[in-house]
Structure 1
Amino acid sequence: MAGLERFLADEAATARLGEDVAMALRPGDVLALKGDLGAGKSTLARALIRALADDAGLDVPSPTFTLVQSYETRVPVHHFDLYRLSSASELDELGFDDALAHGAALVEWPERAEAALPDGTVWIELVHQGDGRLAKLSGQGAAFDRAARSLAMRDFLATAGWGEAGRRFFVGDASARSYEIVSLAGIAPRVLMNSPRLVLGPPVRDGKPYAVIAHTAQSVTAFVAIDKALHAAGVSVPEIHAQDLEQGFLLLEHLGAEGFLGQNGEPIAERYAAAGELLAMMHGKAWSDRMAAAPGIFHDVPPFDREAMLIEADLLVDWYVPMLTGKPAGNALLAGYHNEWNKVLDRLEGSQYTLMLRDFHSPNIIWRGDRTGHDRLGVVDVQDALIGPAAYDVASLAMDARVTISPEIEKRTLDAYVAARRAAGAFDEAAFREAYAITAAQRNSKILGIFVRLEKRDGKPFYLKHLPRIRDYLRRALAHPALSGLHDFYAAHGLLEERPL
């Protein structure tokens, strides 16, 4: 069983420990709080629950008499007090297993039911030491590892002069990365980025994992290098205030939280057009494929090569086709699919290649209406950038995977991009529009597969609601004459038909 210790000089330090553990909490976790009366268990529990609720004033009464108090927070948490339990068997009567099925459990006086607690329980013991407390954390498994990493993030903040900052969950994404808002009185809030090194999966082709073939960023070094290159080129990206490349921690400027959608979730056309103009500016620049993250540390930006394009497109036949048909894609379908895609990708040869951010869409662009020009757009989540077709990011923007973009707004976005490219000099619009259709078809084929995979493999069914939109985007892309063969193949196999969810 692994363990670590932290000295808590006062009540504020105990509360910060509660915040740190809260940031690591996931459904199914069990936290066992041990300590004598007055050791600080209640202070830690209150801070943890308030951090999950993002409500510093939330009333958190002791569950001494109710035995359990439940809170519908970001991760639902159930606060148990087992002091009055006469035997471990009574834990079932309190609905302990049910609580873990829908959230996490915070258990005081766990000694009363120690044998009934799961193996992955994280134990936190508070003991008096001098004028303060010593917190002893122990456990094994994913929950303890997350808690230990969260405490390492607090240590990182301390080295950056932000050791006393409050921490609140900001956003997570489909990867292992997560982001928090950290705040200190009198200073603008900042973003704490937690980017653990990518865990490569099993080999899927030619002895290589999917992430290697698709050139997914494997460490935070990629983000730092690309962020610095974009900043030097006049793109508004977060300033990096502190970095730990080895552990994968960054302290970043907070660019804001306003996005590209109106109050009712509708896309704001002017903002998409402005983002198209920003891409046009970026695509008029020359980019090196070697970028510096720190003195002597470089990131080599990978190419969006045919192997990467095809393995991404294959997500459609690997996941989406089996959902439609109830069985894996057959050899004939796979061979025809690859044949058609290879013919289409041949047409990309000779098109403009540039720095391609890969996920240039509304979740990763901040709107800053108080600024002017390109500075109105703050760009985040840049670590997976490649050297690839310039048209790809335009397709990512104008066919936003999580927002329904009408053909009219798509056209306005494209027109803004094209007008800006023309104004800057010679521009082959016909070649661009063909590359746009090809990359849009590739991207949306990939996304159909990813969204099904998120449901089937990762237990995230809420992504399926996006499938009708992605199919519509795919039909739009395949309408280009250069993709007629691919369109006919998709149509012949029912890949463009609307399906009930």
Structure 2
Amino acid sequence: MTALPNGIHEFLAGTDWRDAKISPLPGDASFRRYFRLANGGGTAMLMHAPPPEEDPGPFLNVARWLTGNGKRAPQILAADPAKGWILTEDFGDERVRERLEKSPQEEKRIYTAAVDVLADLHRRPPGPFSPYDMETYLREVNLLIEWYCPRVGIAADQPSWESAWKEVLEPLLERQHPGVTVLRDYHAENIMLPPDGGQGLIDFQDALVGHQAYDLVSLLQDARRDVSPEVERAMLDHYRAQANPGPEFEADYAVLGAQRNAKIVGIFTRLAERDGKPRYLALIPRVWRLMERDLRHQELAPVARWFDANIPDTVRKAEGAISL
């Protein structure tokens, strides 16, 4: 039986859920833990995001901002951020991923609704969040050379890596202003399908003000499930019809695709090496395939040349796979 965190009963004692049944739920790629509370005929979700590893404050801030701007973030029922406790409404168990595993014919309809959420969000002024700036982009792509390259025996040259990315990202940053709210992890496992309908958002605590294409990349170049090329194309067209993002939009989509996928390769390797979560290594080949596709765009030529010079064909032909 999984041990409950210290302080859980003390926190619940100040809520209407003090006598609820507590059921631990599977965790994610962080230090956060989740519990479902059952009290009579109702349920609620309890998140434990303990400092110093986690800071629940941003989750609360972004949730309230999203709710105030017409988005379905979970209602906050009680919170003690200093001790890492947040009690929210329960969206249920069904995510987009589970629905599509059961009903793949719904893929286009469900993804259209998810793109509609982004298009509406992007029509609103961005939230009071930090900018997705060059420093942040570089810190993220550096995860690949900090974690993945050593794992596969490559001593990567960081200055040339960063120089290639700066060349690619500088034009994009000019087009990014004034920016939109970027949720940063908007994909099939973070979009809930509550029993009462609609789409519920979770895992948005790292929101920044950035580029329109970023959350589309997260949604359509999903590290955890294959999105059909036909659906990806249709969703990009659907977004363009609503948002009219400009002629460079799909070039920027490719750039941010490569940037995000490089980051994810690094994160998944770190999860295995540092955090003892090797299951994420099995997802790297999919991410590598998506990144290779992005690198074929001419806007990414400096980064593509770096990969050609630094990542041997034997690794790339293996689609970036790492032995478990």
TM-aligned CA distance change 1:279 to 1:491, over 3 Å? same
Q: 2:117 corresponds to which letter in structure 1?
A: L
1:434 matches 2:256: no
8 Å contact from structure 1 (residues 271, 367) kept in 2: no
Is 1:170–2:29 an aligned residue pair?
Answer: no
Task: Report if the CA contact (8 A) 2:295-2:301 is conserved.
Answer: yes
Match of 1:335 in 2: 159
Q: For 1:206-285, list aligned pairs within 5 A.
A: 219-261=55-97, 262-263=100-101, 268-285=107-124
Q: Is the 8 A contact 2:271 2:277 kept in 1?
A: yes
Q: Unpaired runs of 5+ in structure 1?
A: 1-21, 25-146, 200-217, 290-300, 422-426
Q: Partner of 2:214 in structure 1?
A: 392
Which structure is higher in helix share?
Answer: 2
Report Cα offsets for 1:275-332 as digits up to 9, x if no partner: 111101101100341xxxxxxxxxxx222221111111011111222222x2532xxx
Which whole-Å CA distance do the structure 2 matches of 1:350 and 1:379 have between them?
29
CA drift of 1:448 comes to: 0.8
Match of 1:498 among 296, 317, 320: 317
Q: Secondary structure at the match of 1:236?
A: coil
The AA in structure 1 aligned to 2:223 is A
Contact 1:368 1:378 in 2 (8 A): yes
SS in 1 for 2:30: coil
Q: Deviations over 1:1-56 (max 9, x none)?
A: xxxxxxxxxxxxxxxxxxxxx443xxxxxxxxxxxxxxxxxxxxxxxxxxxxxxxx
Question: Which is further off, 435-444 or 453-462?
Answer: 453-462
Equivalent residue letter for 1:455 = A
- What value does the CA root-mean-square deviation take over the aligned residues? 2.0
Of 331, 337, 360, the residue aligned with 2:186 is 360
Q: Give the TM-score, by structure 1 length.
A: 0.59
- Cross-structure match for 1:320: 148
Secondary structure of the residue that 1:362 maps to in structure 2?
Answer: coil
Describe how 1:89-488 pairs up with structure 2 within 5 A: 150-186=5-41, 188-199=42-53, 219-261=55-97, 262-263=100-101, 268-289=107-128, 301-324=129-152, 326-329=153-156, 333-352=157-176, 353-368=179-194, 371=197, 376-421=198-243, 427-488=244-305
How big is the shift at 1:239? 0.5
What displacement does 1:351 show? Answer: 2.1
Note the C-alpha offset of 1:479: 2.2
Aligned equivalents of 2:232 and 2:216: distance in 1?
Answer: 10
Q: Is the 8 A contact 1:454 1:461 kept in 2?
A: yes
Which residue number corresponds to residue 86 of structure 1?
none
Asked if the contact 1:238–1:254 (Cα under 8 Å) also holds between the matched residues in 2, the reply is yes
CA contact (8 A) 1:274 1:416 kept: no
For residues 198 and 413 of structure 1, what CA distance do their matches in structure 2 show?
39
User: In the alignment, is the contact (CA less than 8 A) between 1:358 and 1:392 conserved in 2?
Assistant: yes
Query: What are the ranges of 5 or more consecutive residues in structure 2 without an aligned counterpart?
Result: none
**1 or 2, which has the higher strand percentage?**
1
CA distance in 1, matches of 2:242, 2:289: 27
SS in 1 for 2:317: coil
**Equivalences, count:** 313
| SS of residue in 1 equivalent to 2:116 | helix
**Which residue identity is paired with 1:263?**
E
Distance (Å, rounded) in 1 between the aligned partners of 2:223 and 2:50: 26
Taking the aligned partners of 2:204 and 2:91, their CA distance within structure 1 comes to 14
Secondary structure of 1:349 counterpart: helix
Report the CA distance shift for 1:287/1:182 in structure 2 as closer, same or farther (over 3 A).
same
AA matched with 2:238: A
| Percent of paired sites with the same residue | 35
Q: Matched residue of 1:476: which SS?
A: helix
Asked whether the equivalents of residues 91 and 195 of structure 2 are also in contact (C-alpha less than 8 Å), the reply is no
CA–CA distance in structure 2, aligned partners of residues 369 and 157 of structure 1? 25
Q: Deviations over 1:128-160 (max 9, x none)?
A: xxxxxxxxxxxxxxxxxxx5xx24111211201
What is the CA distance between 1:446 and its match in structure 2? 0.6
Aligned partners of 2:222 and 2:103: how far apart in 1? Answer: 13
Aligned partner of residue 361 in structure 1, secondary structure: coil
TM-aligned CA distance change 1:327 to 1:477, over 3 Å = closer
Q: TM-score, normalised by structure 2?
A: 0.90
> CA offsets per residue over residues 213-244 of structure 1, 9 Å max, x none?
xxxxx521111111011001110110011111
Which residue identity does 1:414 align to in structure 2? Answer: L
Kept after mapping to 1: 8 A contact 2:37/2:44: yes
SS state at 1:169 partner: strand
Can you list the C-alpha shifts for 1:50-96, whole angstroms capped at 9, x where unaligned? xxxxxxxxxxxxxxxxxxxxxxxxxxxxxxxxxxxxxxxxxxxxxxx
